[in-house]
Structure formats: structure tokens, C-alpha cells
């Protein structure tokens, strides 16, 4: 197994407006992008469990031309709310970096 941060060029999170968080995982090459997509590790169900949100609130997007996986979900509290601990959403990516990605499936 390989940690996501070892495969991705960039793993980041940010606000998508005051009520949404969005996450981007970008890759340098198509083979690595395909490996992570095909692994199914970045799925709505897995991200929901990781971030303690309902699975039906998570939207996952695969963008092959950009070698990117993106997912978004509603923020638990609005950006800037007194209970908000990360107003820009820029620290929310941390649980992603150590996600274990299995080796690619053999085609034999």
C-alpha cells in the first residue's frame, strides 16, 4: 500500500463558498490518476466516514483531462461562524494524506 500523499502532486481543501468545503487531489500522470480512481478509495461513502458527514451529501468528481479528483460536501458550520475552527477550509485535507492506496490490479 502507498499513502495518497506519495502519489498525488497536490492534496488540498478550501471553501467553495461559506457553506461548502471542496477537496482537490491532483496527479502528475494518467497512470497514477487511474490507479487512485480505480482503487475506489476516494468514494462518497469513504469520504463521508472520514469526515463524519452523510454519504448522500458528498459529491465526487473525476476529471481525467486534468488528472484530478474533487469532492465536496456541506461545511458542518458556516465559514466565519463562532464555532468554525478553519475559516478558509484550508486545513481540512489532513485526513486524506495518509489514505492507503492499494497497488494497481494485475491484468494477468
pLDDT (tens digit, 9 = 90+) per residue, 33-64? 999 999 999 999 999 999 999 999 999 999 99
Is a pLDDT exceeding 80 seen at residue 107? Answer: no
Is a pLDDT exceeding 70 seen at residue 108? Answer: no
Residues whose CB falls within 8 Å of the CB of residue 87, separated by 6 or more in sequence, listed in order: 79, 80
Is residue 84 assigned to a domain? no
| pTM, rounded to two decimals | 0.92
Which helix (H) or strand (E) segment is 68 a member of?
Answer: strand 68-74
Find the mean pLDDT for residues 94-106.
Answer: 92
Residue 48 is classified by DSSP as: H
Is residue 83 assigned to a domain? no
pLDDT interval class at 105 (50, 70, 90) = confident
Contact, 19 vs 89, CB < 8 A?
no
The average confidence (pLDDT) of the chain is 95
Report pLDDT for 104.
87
Domain with 59 in it: what CATH number? Answer: 3.30.70
Contact, 11 vs 25, CB < 8 A?
yes
Report the domain count for the chain.
1
* Distance from chain centroid for Cα 80: 22
Alpha carbons 41 and 56: distance in angstroms, whole number:
17
Contact, 99 vs 4, CB < 8 A?
yes
Query: Whole domain around residue 48: which residue ranges?
Result: 2-76+89-95
Amino acid at each position: 500500500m502507498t499513502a495518497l500523499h506519495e502519489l498525488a502532486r497536490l492534496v488540498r481543501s478550501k471553501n467553495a463558498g461559506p457553506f461548502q468545503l471542496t477537496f482537490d487531489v491532483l496527479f502528475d500522470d494518467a497512470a497514477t490518476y487511474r490507479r487512485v480512481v480505480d482503487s475506489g478509495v476516494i468514494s462518497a461513502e469513504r469520504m463521508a466516514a472520514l469526515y463524519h458527514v452523510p454519504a448522500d451529501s458528498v459529491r465526487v468528481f473525476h476529471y481525467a483531462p486534468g488528472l484530478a479528483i474533487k469532492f465536496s460536501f456541506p461545511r458542518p458550520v458556516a465559514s466565519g461562524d463562532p464555532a468554525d475552527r478553519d475559516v478558509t477550509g484550508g486545513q481540512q485535507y489532513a485526513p486524506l494524506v495518509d489514505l492507503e492506496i492499494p497497488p494497481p490490479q494485475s491484468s494477468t
